[in-house]
Amino acid sequence: MLESHGFTHEKVIDREAVLELEPALAKHVTGGIWVERDGFALPYRTTTAFRLGAQKLGARFLEGTPVRRIEQRGARWFAVTPRGTFSAEKLLVTVGAWWGELAKQVGEPVPVHPEGLMLMVTHRVAPFCRATLGATGRPLSFKQFDNGTVVIGGKLIGIAELTNRHGEVDFVRLVRSARTVTDLFPHLKHLGVNRAWAGVEAFTEDELPVISASRKASNLYYSFGYCGSGFQLGPGCGKLVSELMIDGTPLISLDAFAIDRFGRQAMASAKAA
């Protein structure tokens, strides 16, 4: 299906090819999907580089400055914060799982629910895996760093505490995920987990983000609800949002991510019923 849409970078490979690429994998693996030029980026370094780049171009970052209220007066938007009120002609809302707080003020709610996504990092182990690995059937995203530690994640759902802006680790689910890893790499059975943590993420009903102009107010834009894929989609979506806000038309259509699609989807299913 992907190939019919022009995505030819993913190749289906058989068991022998998988084991040739990753010899430490359990022998019960029956095949895989291989992306030769795939890789990963480190979130802290990547987001710091983006921040420094934006600052060079004049952007200001104010941490610990929650926007309490947004409102449009005349041709300008105002964002009220404990550090004062900021104003601009155009406003982009990118508050992730906390969209609900602002949605009430604009009268444009979206069915978004928060989840606490988890990650764990193991002790160091001799190099055994070069690829960033996922599994089908069970959630897994897995990679080994140069220092030998293994990072294990892949939409592992923990506990989201939206009010305290905090995610909690659910150890029972974490154990299940560790078992997936030792099923695939039996030699890791006695490897210790060094640390685990959780963060809060926004999930929409259709598991797609909202990247859209407001349907209720002028010069208001949204980019939130990334459903666990926001880090990798961020740079591309940032560019599209800038095109949407500055040129009015993004290079590719963002209709599938419109903020009013949820109402339309509900009406379509009611009609079908």
Ligand X SMILES: Cc1cc2nc3c(=O)[nH]c(=O)nc-3n(C[C@H](O)[C@H](O)[C@H](O)COP(=O)(O)OP(=O)(O)OC[C@H]3O[C@@H](n4cnc5c(N)ncnc54)[C@H](O)[C@@H]3O)c2cc1C
Q: Which residues bind ligand X (CB under 6 A)?
A: 66-67, 94-98, 101, 117-119, 141, 153, 199, 201, 224, 226, 228-232
The continuous run of DSSP H or E covering 77 comes out as strand 76-81
Alpha-carbon distance of 44 to 75, in angstroms, equals: 37
Closer to ligand X by Cβ: residue 103 or 117: 117
Residue 156 main-chain phi, psi, to 5 deg: -85, 115
Instruction: Tell me how far, at minimum, the Cβ of 28 lies from ligand X, in Å.
Output: 26
The residue written with tokens 């990650």 in the block is: 119
Closer to ligand X by Cβ: residue 18 or 93: 93
Instruction: Tell me how far, at minimum, the Cβ of 168 lies from ligand X, in Å.
Output: 12
Q: CB of 144 within 8 A of CB of 215?
A: no
Closest CA to 139 of 113, 112, 123, 158: 158
Closer to ligand X by Cβ: residue 17 or 95: 95
Instruction: Tell me how far, at minimum, the Cβ of 33 lies from ligand X, in Å.
Output: 17
Instruction: Tell me how far, at minimum, the Cβ of 232 lies from ligand X, in Å.
Output: 4
Burial of residue 208 (CB within 10 Å: 0-12, 13-18, 19+) is: middle
Q: How many Cβ atoms sit within 10 Å of the Cβ of residue 123?
A: 11
- Rounded to whole angstroms, what are the CA distances from 139 to 3, 161, 202, 223? 24, 22, 18, 26
Instruction: Tell me how far, at minimum, the Cβ of 255 lies from ligand X, in Å.
Output: 20
Instruction: Tell me how far, at minimum, the Cβ of 61 lies from ligand X, in Å.
Output: 10
Closest CA to 95 of 222, 258, 245: 222
Give bridge partners of residue 202 from the DSSP assignment: 114
Instruction: Tell me how far, at minimum, the Cβ of 80 lies from ligand X, in Å.
Output: 10
Closer to ligand X by Cβ: residue 25 or 67: 67
| Degrees to nearest 5, angle at CA 107 with 103 and 111 | 50
Closer to ligand X by Cβ: residue 22 or 201: 201
Closer to ligand X by Cβ: residue 72 or 229: 229
Closer to ligand X by Cβ: residue 59 or 266: 59
Alpha-carbon distance of 49 to 45, in angstroms, equals: 6
- For ligand X, which residue has the nearest CB? 230
Q: How many Cβ atoms sit within 10 Å of the Cβ of residue 14?
A: 11
